[in-house]
Structure 1
Amino acid sequence: MIVRQILKTKGSTVTAVPAAEPVVNVATLLTEARIGAVLVHDSFGQPAGIVSERDIVRGIATRGVSVLDEPVESLMTTDIITCSPDDHIDALMRVMTDRRVRHLPVIENGHLAGIISIGDAVKARISELESEGEAMQRYISANA
């Protein structure tokens, strides 16, 4: 299964916030939208970074609760690791594991096409394995 197929199922909506947005507002957004990360954009609307729940928790643990009043750009990761719509789910999971990230923006022709989470990847892989198992059962039943 490739990323494009996952996006067809889950959709391509990406939640993003301006770099100046207070961390507390981003934490509220993550909670209300039931998502684990948001893209952060600069004043021109261009991607500047990504911030996750873990980034916020780490910021509070290391810098105290006052970090909640700071702009989200103070916590965001600026080295954004991305994937392509044509990447296979296995490659995606390897990148996520090796780079220790749980969210990958999907870039197609230089434009943001969606975002894939580790949960999306696992769900897609399980679906793929179930389909393979069902195909094997049909094959065995037909040849018995």
Structure 2
Amino acid sequence: MRIEKLYPMTSARLMVIDLAATLQTAALTLSNPQIGLAVVSEEGGKAAGVLSKSDLIRHLTDREPNTSIETLMSRNIISCSPVDELQAAWQVMVENRIQNMPVLGVDAKPLGVLDIRDALKVLFEQEQLQEHMLANYIAGIGY
């Protein structure tokens, strides 16, 4: 299954903040329990980095009062595209120990955020369907 089929889920989790936004804006964006990652965009809407709840927590422990979003964000964006396979994206998330991965389109435009729980849910449902179809086939019921 391709990531694009999960558009309703991934688009609902998308939060984009401007590179010049304040830390308070970022904190308010990430205060939603359904949002684990904000995509930081530069002029033209291109993704410049990502900011997670963990990044904000690390900032609080550093106690740097004048830190900017640009300083806190991760510039090394681990992302997927709408045409990527869900299984492959899930494997990248596991290998990199990330819970949220931005879905980026042409020119690095943010389209959504894939949450590992959503990916696991869909992959599990696919496995259940295949198991059901195989059981019906073996039983002679057909597909």
TM bucket, shorter chain: 0.7 to 0.9
Asked if 1:137 corresponds to 2:113, the answer is: no
Q: Say which SS state the counterpart of residue 134 (structure 1) adopts.
A: helix
**Does the aligned pair in 2 maintain the 1:85–1:106 contact within 8 Å?**
yes
Corresponding residue to 2:95 among 84, 91, 98: 98
For residues 22 and 11 of structure 1, do their structure 2 counterparts lie closer, same or farther at Cα, with a shift above 3 Å needed?
Answer: same
1:59 aligns with 59
CA offset digits 1:50-86 (Å, max 9, x no partner): 001111112223x12x45x632222100111221222
Q: With the length of structure 2 as denominator, give the TM-score of the two structures.
A: 0.81
Q: Which amino acid aligns with 1:100?
A: R
Q: Tell me the secondary structure at the aligned position of residue 77 of structure 2.
A: coil
Q: How many residues align?
A: 140
The question of whether the paired residues in 2 share the 8 Å contact of 1:22 and 1:70 is answered with no
Q: Unmatched 5+ residue regions in structure 2? A: none
- Offset at residue 36 of structure 1 (A): 0.2
Instruction: Tell me how far apart the structure 2 counterparts of residues 43 and 112 of structure 1 sit (CA, whole Å).
Output: 13
The answer to whether the 8 Å contact 1:39/1:49 transfers is yes
Amino acid at match of 2:23: V
TM (norm. structure 1) is 0.81
Unaligned runs of 5+ residues in structure 1 are: none
Paired AA for residue 45 in structure 2: G
Q: Percent identity?
A: 26
